[in-house]
Amino acid sequence: MPTIKLFRKKGWTTRFKVIELYVDGQKIGYISNGETKEFEVAAGQHTLKAKRGWYGSQNFDCNLYNKEIKSLTVSPNAIFVTFFPIFIVCFALLNVYLRGKFKFNET
């Protein structure tokens, strides 16, 4: 049987979150931070997807032959991980700035 071998890079911001793994829409398991897992699947065309919470990867289509090992790396979205903390800081600073600009006066 063909094998799908998945490696998840270690990441600081997502180290406590598991990523759910799907083959052809069926959940086959999960992978933790820095972990490598192997899953046996039937030979043929398959669609792979990784999900964490409400968001996930794009579908990855692959054709697997008998005794073939397909190695893939799963990693978090670098743009989201990089820019989300910056967005939060900017939002907080804007909130502090606007608090001083708008005041209600009694009439």
Of the pLDDT bands very low, low, confident and very high (cuts 50, 70, 90), residue 79 is: low
Alpha helices in 1-107 (DSSP H): 78-101
Q: Of 17-21, 80-84, 86-90, 97-101, which gets the smallest average pLDDT?
A: 80-84
Q: What is the pTM of this model?
A: 0.67
**Residue 55 C-beta-side C-alpha neighbours within 13 Å:** 4
Average pLDDT of the residues in 78-106: 68
